[in-house]
Amino acid sequence: MALKVHDPLFAHPSESEFAQILDFYGIEWDYEPASFPTEYDGERVVEMFTPDFYLPQMDLYIELTTLKQSLITRKNRKLRRIRELNPDINIRLLYRRDFHRLMAKFGFGPLGASETPVLDRVLFGTGQIAIRVGELGREISTDYDGKDPVLVGVLRGVFCFMADLIRQTSVPMSVDFMSVSYYEHDETTVKITKELDIDLEGRHVLMVEDIVDTGMTLNYLLEYLRSKNPASLEVCTLLDKKARRLTDPELKYVGFEAPDEFVVGYGLDYIEEYRNLPFIGSLRVDAGDAANKAK
């Protein structure tokens, strides 16, 4: 696939893949845009560090590392030093594990292709979810009293949460759904694969998500929904997986903070499985098995 923004020679294939994912979600990036001094000898700079990516919309530098742990320790030390010397800088190291999980989400990479996931533990039980969804429903009912909101869900993961959430609200509202395409190697940009049926112009819109992970889907969809000129636009997500956030849209209503694990159940899938679990659990990923699952 041709890279749209730049066509630099990436040092590593994972960098090229990462750039394509960013392109897919319409996130601007620069490759190795700046070098930061990390060591001085008096006035003289003796060591520099060049992060792989800069995402201008988020003012975020990203260093992608697929290296061994011993080398990561050194990189981490350099990043700490950059932060000391530039206290306002926003810089993040994406570990090999993060990158593989990102790829696995789209059915690619070593995790997506060769692993047998095993349900590891229950993170949020059925009762716990019901209580929290009830609380969210009451909060939303209070905030949207008299506003006749439109709740917009993004298929498919959101269907359980949306179904339960609307039944815990007590104000008139409308519900609509949309869906977007997945990242695939030959796709260059995310596409809306199911459009909204309701006109959002001048309406109070609450976007409902099952999980915000990297935030890239939400970032794209919020831009899209803003273009429909709603009177207001807020987000309600059942799960907030902060550890993996790349873009940081504001989340007004959050059910639970999710740990940095594969979460499944209550509508959430792993390559289309596990959506029907009544609770939310995490998967333990046993690499090495050639189950050859593909999306």
Residues that bind ligand PRP (CB under 6 A): 154, 156-158, 209-218, 269
Nearest Cα neighbor of 151 from 223, 237, 266, 224 is 237
How far apart are CB 209 and ligand PRP at their closest, in Å? 5
Asked if 30 is an active-site residue, the reply is no
- Name the token pair of 208: 């409902």
Nearer residue to ligand PRP within complex by CB, 66 or 182 = 182
Nearer residue to ligand PRP within complex by CB, 49 or 177 = 177
d(CA 35, CA 37): 7
d(CA 27, CA 62): 13
Nearer residue to ligand PRP within complex by CB, 10 or 177 = 177
Nearer residue to ligand PRP within complex by CB, 49 or 108 = 108
Instruction: Spot the catalytic one: 213, 240, 260, 289.
Output: 213
Nearer residue to ligand PRP within complex by CB, 168 or 179 = 179
Nearest Cα neighbor of 247 from 34, 25, 63 is 25
How far apart are CB 45 and ligand PRP at their closest, in Å? 37
d(CA 242, CA 240): 6
DSSP one-letter string for 90-120: -EEEE-HHHHHHHHHHTT-HHHHHSEEEEEE
d(CA 46, CA 39): 5
How far apart are CB 47 and ligand PRP at their closest, in Å? 34
Nearest Cα neighbor of 253 from 87, 133, 129, 119 is 133
How far apart are CB 37 and ligand PRP at their closest, in Å? 33
How far apart are CB 248 and ligand PRP at their closest, in Å? 11
CB atoms inside a 10 Å sphere around CB 257:
10
| Residues taking part in catalysis | 213
